[in-house]
Chains A and B, each alone.
Chain A
Amino acid sequence: MTIDNAAPAGGSILVVGGGISGLTTTLEAAEVGYEVFLVEKNPSLGGRVSQLNQYFPKLCPPTCGLEINYRRLKDSKNIKVFTLAEVEKVEGAPGNYTATIKISPRYVNEHCTCCGECEKVCEGEIDNEYNLGMNKSKAAYLPNNMAFPQRYVLSPSINPEDAKKCAEACKYGAIDLEMEAKIITVNVGAVVWATGWTPYDATKIDNLGFGKYQNVVTNMMLERMAAKNGPTAGKIMRPSDEKAPATIAFAQCAGSRDENHLSYCSYICCMASLKHATYIREQYPDAKITIYYIDLRTPGYKYEKFYKQLKEDKNVFFVKGKVAEVSEASNGNITVVAEDAVTGEKKRETVDMLVLATGMAPSLADNKPQADLKFNAEGFIVNDFEKGGMFGAGCANKPADVVSSNQNATGMALKAIQSLRR
């Protein structure tokens, strides 16, 4: 018997997207022993889940798992991470690809100690994307307090005056205003696209009033409101007057299961709204919550149990019926009209706040990379395991919850490894 200590040979893997799925594929492959390049377009890893306050059904913070994953990343010698980086094109065939990656300037180099002096002196502000634009951040900012890498970034839109001030304030020579975009190429045997999803643009759903009425918010906005590092420091309040909402309605399938918008089911929104009901309940013991749905999709023993627990709450009401019409009443209140599909009765309810359970659109739908990928009509990547080489993982492949995405992403690590060994 021999013990071979060397890491298995056979090329490298490129993972596109540093959200939970991309991280999973990266780590699972690297811990087998393969070299992985992880490319993330934002200044920090973490992706969509880093914006969530809690996961359903455990109601645990996503940062808990991210922290472990970041530590695994730090401890692995096999991983090279690129942030602010986008894959422009991939050429070649399974087992031998050349990927061209564009790295945008961060204007902050590795000398950054995260001391925060640049942020202090910078006056100009930008929309805080981490908080979905619900508040502002300085143009010199740390993406969030769990950011990885923990390094500041200057917005490309920072005004030159501010940029200069930042550079002067930095004692470590970390601000580099001369930094320019770079193009690099990497040679890999397999590419896993874990490019994730984008919340469906709720302004496209005319009848639900988003963008017209201030107190119509999306589920992702509610998620940020509930988070301590969010725009309201964790307080759920209605945007127009910061009032504590006493009545809240949820419109399920806002865009999903709708041929005019997203023809598929977005998988997570039912459980997300049930979870949001628990956020609201924690802050407002008496708030009345109505959930308008087509079907409540809480499959599997864990989700069923969560739903059962919520049904015990006598101030949570479930109505089978799609919200048809939304209008503004007095004081910024929102009137919701829906037909109760069971009773046939037209229901009209005025609430303090309406939450749209918007679904997930694949991030690549409108932004298809130059690569030999097959997409379905909606923009999800269709995997061809016979051919191999390139794969969609997580929500780039199909709408899914975090558990399923991670299962999928773990499997894709093996599919990628298979493509290396020919």
Chain B
Amino acid sequence: MGNKLGVYICTGCGIGEAIDIEKLSEIPEEELINFKTHSCFCGQEGVDIIKKDVEGGTNAVSIVGCSRRVNFDVFKFDGCVVDRVNIRESVVWPMSREKYPAPTEEEKGKEDFIDPIQMAAEDYLRMSIARLEKVKVPEPYKPDSFSRKILVMGGGVTGMTAALDAAKVGFEVTIVEKGAALGGYAAKLRKQMPVKDPFESLIPTVVDDLVQKVSAEPKITVKTGTVVARIAGQPGEFTVTFKNPGEKIEFDVPFPLPDEMKVDENGKELDNEAQHVKYQEYNKGKKDILTLDPNGELYGAVVLAAGWRPVELKSAELAHLGVGSIPDVVTNDQFEQIAAKGKIVRPSDGKEAKNVVFIQSPGNGSDNDFDYCGSVTSMVSLKQAKYVREDYADGKAYIIYQHMKTPGLQENFYKSMQQDPGVFMTKGEVVGVSQSGKGLLVDAKNTLLGENLQVKADMVVLATGMVPVTVDDPVVNLAYRQGPGFRDNAIYDGYADSNFICFPYETQRTGIYAAGCIRRSMTIEESMEDATGAALKAIQCIESANRGVAVHPRSGDMTFPDFFFQRCTQCKRCTEECPFGALDDDAKGTPKPNPTRCRRCGTCMGACPERIIGFADYNIDSIGSQVKAIKVPSEDDFDEPPLRFICLICENDAYPALDIAGMNRMDIAPEVRFIPVRCLGSVNVIWIKDALAQGMDGVMLLGCKHGDNYQCHFVKGSELASIRMKKIGDALSSLALEPERVAMHEIGIDEYDKLPKIIGEFVEMVDALGPNPFKGF
């Protein structure tokens, strides 16, 4: 591709002592590539040498020395692709000269002398040169149209807070609220929990204040009585169709065809066009996702703050609490509505309810709270107990809990409630609630006040949970081929939550950031805080899309997948496998890329059987040519040729672990050549087939853990790789190769200590199978 290469071999950090630099230099020399050596390329003198060459037109440099994880800031040259040939952490440090002695003067001349350390260093340099010939300096993607506006779905406390925070820094925001007015659930409260230090007393809700601020903010547009029919397009250019709640329109979002409808009566999969006909029937009256609403409004990013609804109690499971049979047993939601109207009175007869029991846990032999609870439900019991005390000087509130969940500074509110002599609290298991005359009897056992407790009450309140609205409906209504909702919400009990502890706003849908109770049950204070974070992420996504760079986790990456459509066979695998739903295929099955939805993991590239997807600096050829650059020792050259392996290794977790193993001088099998990949999801089986066809004895994949607690930064990458590897086993058998020659292991970044063993055992296992029979062909 016409890159002008430069090779810079560092001899510092023990490299010069362990490696025959002269011999290593023959590689660039033979290819007439400019090369230089220095004892410390990361020092000023060394950097200046490289800089001078770059100024002189070199645009692809191979720096042979330490890992790319160090000296990143030193080796940054504008307009130049930098490849770091890690022979320090990957070769010299983990392979000691004590174990693999250097050739003596006499041995040096011998062609068939096996020096594993030198061989590794030479391979890595050849691989780097091969790669640099196949990559380009990336240029950012620019969308055709662009909007900086933010759409906030939900006009409750969370939505209003997000809108105000974004508007404050100059962004235009539209709040879409399905109800007739702003305010959400909080507007229905009598009072709310404190939001500020000292977190001790109840306050009027913040809703009025927020509504006023929103109305006064010229950058915010409010659409009440409105819902989102669909969101089409991609971050920076989402086309949004609004409608009235309950209305049916042609831009309602279509749903993907269920799997059972994709096959004919004999169970055979229908072809793309037949499937499309069925899909159209299934979504009759709705426009396809690729038809943009000409009247739609353009937005850059979305904050999803659609909130929650009260749980619907199952009377069968909660019969012992009088659910469904005793009218004066109510939920905390019903109680709040009574309290908001005025003094607390019994639903059955409208009489004053002065003695109220609050039940936090349904009992049934377990200390679990009700479903969809959180610390907020504990806090609400305390708050509502206070209402009883506010309304009646002689009122009494009893809270029976299993665990009072008021973590952090919420404890202050709990403590202030403990000071109230009219509020009684005890741990206990509620056995039953029964009607006794006009009143109620609550029986509990194992309480702090004695083994068995019976309380007379006018009313019983159950601390039931808050169900995120995403349980009932996709809500976001994305016009995406993979479907309208967030994916995998089932792992999160239906919440639109993130899997990541470190990155709480990252989901599988780029540019849409959930906040508030749709993510987790939260207090108003927590929801407001969460809203600000989501607003920041929305702004950041817009700015990143505008600059043509990726968002988390490859923040700033300017590459994006490029498709060579002439060779596309419409197999739809890229569309189906993309963890972020970045691709939408058309009626024929040809994918339409949406680059600003893309996180640049390369899963599409790994999925594509035609190998037509690639990035400027990361593509089928850039890895494939590295594989081919590795010399496979054969019997022509050696009496006992050493085995040769490639290991495709996830650069996020496994590769750092390998570095740390190297830093700790752990012994890594010298037969293995490591090729870092963006994610195991990007591994295309062609690399594996090529490696084996070339005579390599085995291929290893090292990546992140998958399953519900996945650690894969691209969500599905390692899982998809494991599925592909299972399939490749059959292909190997047909070539009379043992399927064991290809293996995948999951490894955490902290499991560096396990690496030498995992790799060593694989090498031994393959050694026992014998060399690859294709060697030398």
Interface flags for B633-661 (1: CB within 8 Å of A; 0: not) read 00000000000000000001100100010
Give the residue of A28, A65, A304 whose beta carbon is less than 8 angstroms from that of B536. A28
A342 to B447, CA, bound (A): 6
In the complex, A134 has a CB within 8 A of chain B: no
Residues of the A chain whose Cβ atoms lie less than 8 Å from the Cβ of B553: 68, 71-72
Q: In the complex, how many angstroms separate the beta carbon of A399 from the nearest chain B beta carbon?
A: 5
- Chain A residues with CB below 8 A from B412, complex form: 263-264
- Shortest B751–chain A CB gap in Å is 8
A28–B540 CB distance below 8 A: yes
A414 touching B532, Cβ below 8 Å: yes
Number of chain A residues whose Cβ lies closer than 8 Å to a Cβ of chain B: 89
Measured between beta carbons, the chain A residues less than 8 angstroms from B70 are: 113-114, 150
User: A411 near B168 (CB under 8 angstroms)?
Assistant: no
Partner of A67, one of B73, B552, B656: B656
A228 CA / B748 CA spacing, docked (Å): 12
**Would you give the 0/1 interface string for B479-505, flagging 1 where the beta carbon is closer than 8 Å to chain A?**
000000000000011010001111111
Contact among B165, B520, B546, B663 with A3 in the assembled complex (CB-CB below 8 Å): B546
Stretch in A99-107, A122-130, A208-216, A293-301 touching the partner: A293-301
Pick the interface stretch among A161-169, A330-338, A401-409: A401-409
Residues of the A chain whose Cβ atoms lie less than 8 Å from the Cβ of B39:
171
Whether, in the assembled complex, B408 has its beta carbon less than 8 Å from a beta carbon of chain A, the answer is yes
Stretch of A35-43, A54-62, A277-285, A347-355 contacting B (4+ beta carbons < 8 Å): A54-62
CB of B331 closer than 8 Å to a CB of A = no
Chain B residues near A341 (CB, 8 Å)? 427, 448
Whether A68 contacts B165 in the complex (CB less than 8 A), given A74-B72, A408-B533, comes out as: no
Taking a contact as CB atoms under 8 Å apart, the answer to whether B411 and A265 are in contact is yes
Q: How far is the CA of A46 from the CA of B102 in the complex (A)?
A: 40
Q: Which of B261-269, B280-288, B368-376 has 4 or more CB atoms under 8 Å from chain A?
A: B368-376
Q: A58-B709, A411-B530, A418-B165 are in contact. Are A65 and B406 (CB under 8 A)?
A: no
Q: Decide if B368 touches A113 in the complex (CB within 8 Å).
A: no
Q: Given A32-B540, A76-B556, A300-B374, do A61 and B427 touch, yes or no (CB 8 Å)?
A: no
List the B residue with the shortest CB-CB distance to A421. B169
Residues in A whose Cβ lies below 8 Å from that of B547: 5, 33
Q: Which of A32, A71, A234, A382 contacts B197 (CB 8 A)?
A: A382
Contact A376 B198 (CB under 8 A): yes
B543 close to chain A: CB less than 8 A? yes
* A219 sits at the interface (CB 8 A): no
Candidates B12, B13, B501, B705; contact of A402 at CB < 8 Å: B501
CB pair B501 A403 closer than 8 Å: yes
B320 at the interface (CB under 8 A from A): no
Task: Determine whether B664 belongs to the interface, using a CB cutoff of 8 Å to chain A.
Answer: yes
B419 CB–A CB distance under 8 Å? no
Q: When the two chains form their complex, are residues A145 and B660 in contact, meaning their CB atoms are under 8 A apart? A: yes
> Contacting A5 at CB < 8 Å: which of B12, B66, B410, B546?
B546
Residue of A nearest to B519 (CB): A407
Whether B197 pairs with A399 at a CB distance below 8 angstroms is no
Q: Which chain A residues border B170 with CB–CB below 8 Å?
A: 421
A311 to B546, CA, bound (A): 50
- Distance of A58 from chain B, by nearest CB (Å): 5
**Residues on A facing B (Cβ under 8 Å):** 1, 3-5, 7-8, 20, 27-28, 31-33, 53, 55, 58-69, 71-72, 74-76, 110-111, 113-115, 145-146, 150, 171-173, 227-229, 234, 257, 263-267, 270, 295-302, 304, 308, 320, 341-342, 376-377, 380, 382, 398-400, 402-404, 406-415, 417-418, 421
B-side interface residues toward A, CB under 8 Å? 12-14, 39-40, 42-43, 66, 69-70, 72-74, 142, 145-146, 165-166, 168-170, 196-198, 367-369, 372-376, 378, 401, 403-412, 415, 427, 446-448, 492-493, 495, 499-505, 520-521, 526, 529-533, 535-537, 539-540, 543-544, 546-547, 551-553, 555-557, 652-653, 656, 660, 663-664, 705, 709, 711, 713, 748-753
15 contacts across the A-B interface (CB closer than 8 A): A3-B142, A5-B546, A63-B656, A63-B749, A67-B652, A68-B503, A113-B42, A146-B656, A297-B375, A299-B521, A304-B373, A399-B407, A407-B530, A408-B533, A409-B533
